[in-house]
Structure 1
């Protein structure tokens, strides 16, 4: 049966790669829409809202186990109105319901599954569910049947509970602690990072271990400004350990999303545009401060990967590469010992295996993820380095013949803004005109394709169409990219556009009562609550990047109003930042740089 005549649901008409992955499920999925919400109200059914993204491993697992299953589909279709959401296409919906997940369960992740009233007010949240109950893990069929009985027999109590949850979340999670930024906040952040630094392996905390570019970027700025050698030392240890580890793709370059162990050995094999943009900035900044060639080499490898594998012909950058190929995580990237010898020949194969930790036993499910963890980079001879470089080129060509992981070809304005900033900064530090041209091409692509007739940013572009009103992260990240690009090119059109978009950002997202900027604008769809995001996770918050952009704009224009707005925003979140600087480090970086 071909794709054209397979049974499909409403998602077949969507543009999102994630939604299209579910278009042939027997579940009667709706995209997030007024049609779905109206149907739930008319038929008196609760909503089953499932949020994920196209390169998410556990989203794939739940799809295979549950959403492709006829039994699951039967009860879901019968008792709920099922809605699928791509979190990258609709980060506003994801932000709202992730806030509920964190409030109700203390954690969150993807797939994020929400059971909600027809108005979208949640009364139950969870992440991955297997088809059948096993051990302490509730199966989705049992969950659906239980909730259906509750909805039929005690609906008023469910509605009452959903109202209570909504009001409690609003009271506790939509209120920010104001205050003046303490003079000690930078030192407090540094001390906090020193306490959680992993002296043996580099990085911070235990496992799973994320690169956390903001930790490293802050330490670089702090060491530069205060001549604090210990901050620089732990940054350099981490930068080298990360590069040597299996979290870096030594054959095709670029960083994977995170390491499942504390040694950086085995990654979750997803590659995200935002990670590589931010790590590119960090390695470039490290070279700028120390002059050490290793950091320039790593940055250039990051950009080589992005330019080769994540760039559209039109100029925009794609979102992500999947961890899976042929249904197996990491299959594209790993090698058997004998395979290495067959491809490289015995002599070079043995040399490669010695340095890159390739063994018959393997380090990942019987195969090998190449890494340099066991070796001092300074002790690799020039001859061996040359042979290893040649071997990696041969392995790259060999590997490239395999079935490749899925690439999510959404072009997101926000993440493109980060990559534009990264390349534009590197263009200045490395005196690389090509990086400047590529950043310019990407910026011009966004200007041409992801702005509406009124000049408002759009958040997403795919298959020839830009759509969805831009969110705060689209504005603040793209503005930051424009300002870096102006510094790289000295072309006033990028500064002028950065100024105009900054003015628009304040009007569209500003909270005139309590300060700060809302996650989505006053011309966007209004959801059950309107959060403000200042917490920096794997992706910077929209408010922190807005603060960074405002200070940069002040430094470029000397217009006092931008500095005042940035300082007012810092006051609006002041005690949040003071009390937990590690969760707000992009804001603290802005303080270091102002």
Structure 2
């Protein structure tokens, strides 16, 4: 037996291809081998940018003694959670149920029938208070399998039965105006008034909740909603979570004040946050928000664009095995790069102190008081140039369909609003790559790398997020092929992912996907939108764009939102995307159809449209939303509708702005 990861398309699996552990990818062959040898399966799940995954790899999986024990007593299977979110979802539910928490690396032990019987996360090489060593765990599991195999199998079967009992869709519940206002009240109770954001450390960027709060403010005028959104975005942009030199956001802050990030940069976070700051800049003409939008968009283009034109999954948390090495500074390092006068000034601007805010006297860069001007531009450029000469974090250049969909949506909308055609072009190139490589016979694949498609089938979030991105491209380009392709994805999703026993509910895997011990269907919005909420968003948008099956899409979207009503009422922090879709439905969604060439009207529409609304300008003969909407007195005109009610067409920027304010 040997390690079998060398031919993988996953950078995470390739990180383990030289381990002495005889790793296998998730496959029927691995479980057949476990049956033949009558040994349990060690399932290890992680991702390329995961710091503690690297730690456990160095401590245990690169250790010859540990590897020898694993190879003798187990079949070892390694899974990239980003490539196989379905496998991850099933065993994460088990891990959380058994331990009360989850995370990566995830370590599960399975029968040869893939039924779990023990689970945890990171295990250290030596025992620690509250945690056995990894070696102790392996020895205990091997002994239990040898001496109590029948009992272990019975326990695993009971766990699978419990999974089936726990599953099932939520009952429908009305997501009306009172429910949306109630969600804002609930969020106020969890809001950190001193530091922005929600909850305590570790603190994650609440991008989808910010989007909901903005949409709620637009519809109702809620001061509290706008205040929470604005203050949270201010705090994130001022802290170490945000890359003050190169743009882009880290995964989360290890503290409650946004000072020290967990340094990996994920494509999904940056796509979602780029969109949120873009929409905030429509309601608040703050130059800092515009700067964050521009720098984050440029970060995506500069640091995450693959040679094929799509976007890579992430940048690692570690550089040469040291977390944050690329990004942190001391006062002396600033002086070395900038000279004494500018170095001292930069230390004050970026809150870099002798004591440090991170480790070993180093500091993350923060911008507590925004500055601008020639000196600021010069200092930032010099520091960024110097930082580029440091060792750099590894790039996970795997292309994930759903995450690219999020980036496409954000870049298309930001490019249109900020008049940056390069961003729109980048979004279109990424979409072209996905449709050429990831879309096969009308069905999506989850990933590709270096232009070669992976083997994992697309999950629901892939269909929803990519469809949403294509619909954003249709709006800013008026190219009907993006609309037609998006609708094709929606039609496939409605056929293959719908829960036939519960209208409005969806599974995360298709009806013809690989059968796992349970079929995942998680409705919660976590780090990225739930598959069902991403699909609901795309369905509602497609209905507003006048797609051929608009009525069906609208009904399907409404039913899906109703299934999330209980979740939104009980845990609005984990229903941000659902709440955003509900706000769009309550606002109409707003539709703006622009006929005739008027850049001023187009700019006013994009600036004034409500979140979740649609704007299309183009040729009435080829764009569905513009059909049968003529010029007015031979000149350009804007048609504003909400749901099924339309205003009279307007021809001036002021009248359009007033119509959108109403």
- Scaled to the shorter chain, the TM-score interval is over 0.9
Q: Which runs of 5+ in 2 are unaligned?
A: 586-662
More helix by share: 1
Q: Which residue of 2, 10, 28 corresponds with 1:16?
A: 10
- Aligned pairs for 1:140-155 (under 5 A) are 140-155=134-149
- Aligned pairs for 1:39-54 (under 5 A) are 39-54=33-48
Equivalence for 2:546: 557
- Number of aligned residue pairs: give it: 581
Q: Which residue of 294, 305, 327 corresponds with 2:321?
A: 327
Equivalence for 2:225: 231
Q: Does the CA contact (< 8 Å) of 1:554 and 1:563 recur in 2?
A: yes
Q: Does the CA contact (< 8 Å) of 1:103 and 1:169 recur in 2?
A: no
- 1:184 Cα deviation from its structure 2 partner: 2.2
- Aligned pairs for 1:167-206 (under 5 A) are 167-206=161-200
- 1:65 Cα deviation from its structure 2 partner: 0.3
Q: Does the CA contact (< 8 Å) of 1:337 and 1:362 recur in 2?
A: no
1:427 lines up with 2:415 in the alignment: yes
- 1:125 is paired with a residue of what secondary structure? strand
Equivalence for 1:586: 577
Equivalence for 1:36: 30
- 1:57 Cα deviation from its structure 2 partner: 0.2
Q: Which residue of 199, 203, 208 corresponds with 2:202?
A: 208
Equivalence for 2:602: none
Q: Does the CA contact (< 8 Å) of 2:11 and 2:48 recur in 1?
A: yes
- Aligned pairs for 1:72-111 (under 5 A) are 72-111=66-105
> Aligned partners of 2:568, 2:321: CA distance in 1, in Å?
42
> Aligned partners of 1:185, 1:97: CA distance in 2, in Å?
33
- Aligned pairs for 1:428-577 (under 5 A) are 428-452=416-440, 454-467=441-454, 468-515=456-503, 516-557=505-546, 559-577=550-568
364-373 vs 507-516, which moves further: 364-373
Equivalence for 1:4: none
RMSD of Structure 2 on Structure 1 (CA): 1.5
> Aligned partners of 1:350, 1:563: CA distance in 2, in Å?
58
Equivalence for 1:376: 369
- 1:178 Cα deviation from its structure 2 partner: 3.0
Equivalence for 2:397: 409
> Aligned partners of 2:284, 2:76: CA distance in 1, in Å?
53
> Aligned partners of 2:2, 2:299: CA distance in 1, in Å?
36
> Aligned partners of 1:581, 1:238: CA distance in 2, in Å?
16
> Aligned partners of 1:196, 1:262: CA distance in 2, in Å?
13
- 1:182 Cα deviation from its structure 2 partner: 4.7
1:70 lines up with 2:64 in the alignment: yes
Equivalence for 2:646: none
Structure 1 residues 356, 8: closer, same or farther in 2, change over 3 A? farther
Query: How far does the alpha carbon of each residue in 1:50-80 deviate from its partner, in whole angstroms, 9 at most, with x for none?
Result: 0000110000000000000112112211111
Equivalence for 1:3: none
Q: Does the CA contact (< 8 Å) of 1:174 and 1:531 recur in 2?
A: no
1:356 lines up with 2:344 in the alignment: no
> Aligned partners of 2:100, 2:516: CA distance in 1, in Å?
22
1:297 lines up with 2:291 in the alignment: yes
- 2:77 is paired with a residue of what secondary structure? strand
57-66 vs 226-235, which moves further: 226-235
| Runs of 4+ residues over 6 Å off in structure 1 | none
Q: Does the CA contact (< 8 Å) of 1:65 and 1:131 recur in 2?
A: yes
- 1:482 is paired with a residue of what secondary structure? helix
Relative to the length of structure 2, the TM-score reads: 0.86
Q: Does the CA contact (< 8 Å) of 1:177 and 1:576 recur in 2?
A: no
282-291 vs 566-575, which moves further: 566-575
